[in-house]
Every structure is written in structure tokens, then in C-alpha cells.
């Protein structure tokens, strides 16, 4: 059964509220052990959860003070023999403190001006990560100088690689400028070094901007190493060095790039998991159907797993068409219905050869159960440490749409009994989709579910469902907060239509096998 506006009945309920467990056990859905798919949080996840509830003002004030103190000490304290005659440490600290305070003001102004655009999800965690990277690489520079290692070997390009993948190029460019200045001060105010690090690190930012698999990161790192060698060679010549000295410094620059690459490849997985930052590499890991949560979905709700895989294919195809992130669209689709693991038998795709438990429930109760699969999905995603972008897609994939089948059933019952129906009881709580990928997922989910309910899905019938779904979502205001434009919404529908027609394809009805003729019995 499907509605003309594309809202599928097959979205039959998923997770049952705590006060309805008795209904679940009496309607063919035995109680499931939570250990089967729930995952206790790790210590690191508990710590991150505590940080997320810290009042923002207190957090930012404490972070700024900690950064200022750490950077001032790292830049101003030098345990080597001081070459300046009769230095005054207090005036040196004063100068360093003023420089670091200016850097903090530049970062604050940048985030105040552009923070909402570049830090859309988990802003507090991302700012903490940025501060940690600044302190880490400044400390690394100080260690190189204290150990009398060549300062041109300081792997600042590793900061660019890590920061660009984890935080994006805009914030990283500001961080690279600041850190390059700090490293130059640490290395006896060597501003040739500052210039070289700025060039190589700036090049690294745009080299790794769109890397996907880790093999692409390796190739980009090798290119960065080559460019670092060339830049160091040129800087040596500008400083008046001989060709031999320039060649030696070029070799150090090549080693710098390789060291930066190794450092980035070692730290990237650690920082991804520690700060729960979504990266292309993380998306590739989540897209693997061997992921433990997807495997639990396969075993616990096979029909939902199949539905999610098909929606993932449609969403990825549509995202490619309009220039959205196809990998994020596919991953969001894979996990959008994980909340159905709580009580899978309340969804029709999992009711093969089973009794439908909704036959004994009122429409209001059924709608209340079905709405819970979104909330349960978000909670389960938190338990499994899914990135915030994926959690948002789980929460938004139904928006505030109406659960049409149970709403119409309630209207019929009310007409017979003279009762009233509250429409809000049959709407998902939202929020509505905001990102392009979440909007694509909403359309792909509804269309795939409705098309699957057709007995004979012809291209014309599929096209009617696609156009009806888009029209219904627009009239219902589901895309009012979404980044999708009207043109992109209709292009998404066209891409989904093409993919569905290609996916379903024509079918040939095989003729029945002719009945075998009974051989005549031999006459005696």
C-alpha cells in the first residue's frame, strides 16, 4: 500500500517505548537482549560527552587562557645557552606574550566572522582540536630546537595535512600562518624558515583538500615532500648560500615532507576517533558493510538492511548529480534506520512470514511506536560513535512528515466513532532536513519504499511516484530549512528515477514448462 504523495505505509513502526514492551512480547516480537546491538561508551567517549555539556563561555575562556600560557612558555622558554648578552627574561616573555595574545585575537576574530560557516557540527570539539594541534606542533618545534636538529626539518606540513582533513582549509590557513611565525621565533627569529614553512604548508593545504582513500593521501604527501625540497633549495639560494648548501637544504626539505606525511598518517586515525571528526577516510570505513553495526542490522533486521543498501545507492547517485557529497549521502542512508533494531518486527520489511503486530494496536499507539525509531537511531548512533553529520541525517530523514497510513486509519475510526484526531500525534518530531545530503536521503527513502510496494513497477508509475513525492514534501514544507535549491530537488528526483529504472529493469515472464506426457503403458 502506498499513498499518492509518496509517503510509504511500509514505514511501519520500529522501536517500542519502554511502557510498550508488553505489547511487543504479546504481538510476536519477543524481547531482545540489549547486548546484541547496544555498545557501552568508552572512557574517551564519556570524557567527550562531559566536554560537550560544559557552558560554552566557561570553556572558551579556559581554552584561550590555556593556549596563551602554553604557547608563551613554549616560544619564550629556551633551555639552550642563550647567545644574547645579558638577556632580560621578563622583557622577552612580555614580547612573546604580546605576540601570542595578538595571535589569539586574530583567531577569535576569524572564528567570530566565519565560524558558523566552517564549524557547522561539534564546534566546541573542533575548536579544542584546533587548539591541541597548535600547541602540539609548537611543542614539536621546540623539541627540534632543543635537540639541535635542523630547524628546516620541523614537519609543519604535517599540521597542514592533518588540519585540512580534520578541520577544513580556511581555519587551517590561519593556523599555519600563526604556527609558522611561532616556529620562526623559536628558531632564533629565522624568518627565512618562516617563509619556507608558509609556502610548503600552504601548498599542503590545497594538495590534500580533496583526498579520499589513504592511498591518495600517500600520493599527495609524496608530492608535498617534493615541493618542500624545491622550496628549501630556493630559500637557501635567496639567503646567499652556495649550490652545494642549497642542495643539502633541499634534501632536508624532502625529508621534512616525508616526515610530515608519516606524522600525519600516524596521527590521523587517532585524532579522528578521539575527537569524532568526520573525514573522507572515516566515511570509507563507515561505508564498509562489514562494519559491526551494519552487520548487527543485517542479522537483526534483514529487510531494513536491504532497504538501507538500496536507499544508499539511490542517494549516492543523486548526490553525484547535484554536486553534493556522494559518500556522505550513501553512509547516511546505510545508517538512517538503525533504530529499527530495537523492535524490527514492527516494520513491514521485516515481517516476512510473521504476524503484523499492529493488527492489535490502535493507530495512535502504532504511530507512537513508529516515531521512536528515529530517536532510537540517534541514541544507537551515539553509542557506536557515529559522526555528528551522520547522526543529523538519522534525525532528519523523516523531518516532520505525517505517518499517512495510520493517520488515515485513525480518521476512518474517528468517523465511525465520532471521535477527533490530533494530527500532531501522527507526525515525526523532526527536525527537518538541513544539509543537501539529508534532503536527498529523505526523498530516496520515501521513493524507494513506495516503489517497492508496487506489484508491477513500470517507468511511468515510478515517475508518478517520484513527482508525487517531491510535490508532497514541498507542499508540506519539509525542504524549507534545507540547502537544496528547487532545481537541485528536481534534479535529485530525476537521478533517483533513472537509478530506480536501471535498478529494477525489465523483467521477462518465463513460460511455464510443458507438462510431461505420460508414456503409454505397454499392452500385455
> Rounded to an integer, what distance in angstroms lies between the CA atom of residue 215 and that of residue 213?
5
Reply yes or no: is the peptide bond before residue 45 cis, omega within 30 of 0.
Answer: no
Q: What's the whole-number mean pLDDT along residues 470-480?
A: 95
Short-list 402, 377, 405, CA closest to 301: 377
> Rounded to an integer, what distance in angstroms lies between the CA atom of residue 127 and that of residue 338?
30
Q: What's the whole-number mean pLDDT along residues 18-22?
A: 44
The answer to whether 367 touches 403, Cβ cutoff 8 Å, is yes
Q: Which residues contact 14 (CB under 8 A, 6 or more apart)?
A: 337, 339, 340, 342, 343, 344, 346, 347, 369, 370, 372, 373, 376
Residue pLDDT, tens place only, 200-259: 999 999 898 877 777 888 889 999 999 999 999 999 999 888 999 999 999 999 999 999
Flag whether pLDDT at 304 surpasses 90.
Answer: yes
- State residue 84's pLDDT score: 56
Q: Which residues contact 416 (CB under 8 A, 6 or more apart)?
A: none
C-alpha cell at 510: 518465463
> Rounded to an integer, what distance in angstroms lies between the CA atom of residue 56 and that of residue 157?
31
- State residue 349's pLDDT score: 86
> Rounded to an integer, what distance in angstroms lies between the CA atom of residue 102 and that of residue 306?
55
- State residue 353's pLDDT score: 66
DSSP one-letter code for 517: P
> Rounded to an integer, what distance in angstroms lies between the CA atom of residue 498 and that of residue 491?
11
C-alpha cell at 18: 519502554
Residue pLDDT, tens place only, 378-396: 999 999 989 989 999 999 9
- State residue 85's pLDDT score: 60
Short-list 302, 283, 315, CA closest to 445: 315
Where is pLDDT greater, at 24 or 152?
152
Structural domains in the chain?
A: 18-36+281-504 (1.10.3210), 44-119+122-276 (no CATH)
Flag whether pLDDT at 120 surpasses 90.
Answer: no
Where is pLDDT greater, at 16 or 113?
113
Query: C-alpha angle with apex 140: 138 to 143, nearest 5 degrees?
Result: 115
Q: Which residues contact 505 (CB under 8 A, 6 or more apart)?
A: none
- State residue 119's pLDDT score: 74
Cα→Cα distances 118→115, 122, 126, 159, Å: 5, 11, 10, 18
The DSSP code sequence of 245-260 is HHHHHHHHHHHHHHHH
Cα→Cα distances 151→26, 95, 186, Å: 72, 22, 9
- State residue 430's pLDDT score: 87
Cα→Cα distances 512→455, 456, 467, 509, 515, Å: 20, 20, 37, 9, 9
- State residue 11's pLDDT score: 44
> Rounded to an integer, what distance in angstroms lies between the CA atom of residue 404 and that of residue 410?
10
- State residue 2's pLDDT score: 39
- CA atoms within a 13 Å half-sphere pointing along the CA-CB vector of 222: 5
Short-list 480, 471, 485, 507, CA closest to 4: 471
Q: What is the pTM of this model?
A: 0.80
- State residue 24's pLDDT score: 42
The answer to whether 367 touches 425, Cβ cutoff 8 Å, is yes
The answer to whether 159 touches 175, Cβ cutoff 8 Å, is yes
Amino acid at each position: 500500500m502506498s499513498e499518492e504523495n509518496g509517503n510509504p505505509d511500509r514505514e511501519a513502526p520500529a522501536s517500542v517505548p519502554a511502557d510498550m514492551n508488553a505489547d511487543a512480547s504479546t504481538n510476536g516480537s519477543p524481547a531482545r537482549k540489549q547486548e546484541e546491538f547496544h555498545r557501552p561508551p568508552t572512557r574517551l567517549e564519556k570524557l567527550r560527552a562531559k566536554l560537550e555539556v560544559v557552558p560554552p563561555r566557561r570553556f572558551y575562556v579556559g581554552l584561550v587562557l590555556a593556549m596563551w600560557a602554553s604557547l608563551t612558555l613554549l616560544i619564550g622558554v629556551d633551555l639552550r645557552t642563550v647567545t644574547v648578552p645579558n638577556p632580560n627574561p621578563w622583557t622577552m616573555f612580555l614580547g612573546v606574550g604580546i605576540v601570542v595574545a595578538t595571535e589569539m585575537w586574530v583567531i577569535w576574530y576569524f572564528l567570530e566572522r566565519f565560524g558558523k560557516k566552517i564549524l557547522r557540527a561539534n564546534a566546541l570539539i573542533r575548536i579544542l582540536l584546533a587548539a591541541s594541534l597548535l600547541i602540539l606542533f609548537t611543542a614539536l618545534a621546540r623539541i627540534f630546537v632543543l635537540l639541535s636538529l635542523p630547524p628546516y626539518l620541523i614537519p609543519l606540513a604535517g599540521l597542514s595535512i592533518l588540519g585540512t582533513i580534520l578541520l577544513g582549509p580556511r581555519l587551517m590557513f590561519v593556523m599555519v600562518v600563526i604556527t609558522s611565525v611561532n616556529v620562526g621565533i623559536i628558531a632564533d627569529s629565522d624568518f627565512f624558515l618562516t617563509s619556507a614553512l608558509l609556502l610548503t604548508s600552504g601548498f599542503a593545504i590545497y594538495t590534500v583538500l580533496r583526498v579520499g582513500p589513504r592511498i591518495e593521501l600517500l600520493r599527495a604527501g609524496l608530492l608535498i615532500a617534493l615541493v618542500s625540497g624545491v622550496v628549501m633549495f630556493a630559500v637557501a639560494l635567496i639567503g646567499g648560500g652556495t649550490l652545494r648548501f642549497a642542495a643539502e637544504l633541499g634534501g632536508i626539505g624532502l625529508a621534512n615532507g616525508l616526515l610530515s606525511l608519516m606524522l600525519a598518517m600516524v596521527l590521523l586515525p587517532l585524532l579522528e576517533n578521539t575527537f569524532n571528526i568526520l573525514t573522507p577516510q572515516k566515511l570509507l570505513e563507515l561505508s564498509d558493510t562489514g562494519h559491526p553495526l551494519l552487520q548487527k542490522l543485517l542479522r537483526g533486521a534483514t529487510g531494513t538492511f536491504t532497504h538501507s543498501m538500496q536507499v544508499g545507492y539511490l542517494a549516492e547517485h543523486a548526490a553525484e548529480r547535484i554536486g553534493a557529497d556522494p559518500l556522505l549521502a550513501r553512509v547516511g542512508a546505510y545508517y538512517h534506520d538503525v533504530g529499527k533494531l530495537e523492535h524490527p518486527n514492527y516494520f513491514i520489511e521485516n515481517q516476512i512470514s510473521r504476524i503484523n503486530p499492529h493488527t492489535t494496536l490502535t493507530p495512535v499507539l502504532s504511530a507512537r511506536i513508529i516515531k521512536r525509531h528515529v530517536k532510537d537511531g540517534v541514541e544507537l548512533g551515539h553509542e557506536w560513535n557515529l559522526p555528528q553529520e551522520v547522526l543529523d541525517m538519522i534525525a532528519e530523514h523523516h523531518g516532520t512528515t505525517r505517518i499517512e497510513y495510520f493517520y488515515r486509519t485513525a480518521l476512518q475510526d474517528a468517523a465511525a466513532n465520532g471521535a477527533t484526531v490530533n494530527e500532531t500525534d501522527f507526525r515525526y518530531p523532526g527536525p527537518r532536513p538541513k544539509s543537501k545530503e539529508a534532503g536527498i536521503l529523505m526523498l530516496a527513502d520515501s521513493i524507494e519504499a513506495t516503489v517497492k510496494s508496487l506489484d508491477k513497477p513500470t517507468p511511468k508509475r515510478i515517475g508518478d511516484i517520484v513527482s508525487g513525492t517531491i510535490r508532497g514534501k514541498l507542499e508540506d514544507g519539509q525542504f524549507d530549512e534545507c540547502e537544496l535549491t528547487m532545481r537541485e530537488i528536481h534534479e535529485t528526483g530525476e537521478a533517483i528515477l533513472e537509478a530506480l529504472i536501471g535498478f529494477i529493469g525489465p523483467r521477462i515472464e518465463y513460460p511455464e514448462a510443458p507438462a510431461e506426457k505420460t508414456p503409454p503403458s505397454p499392452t500385455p
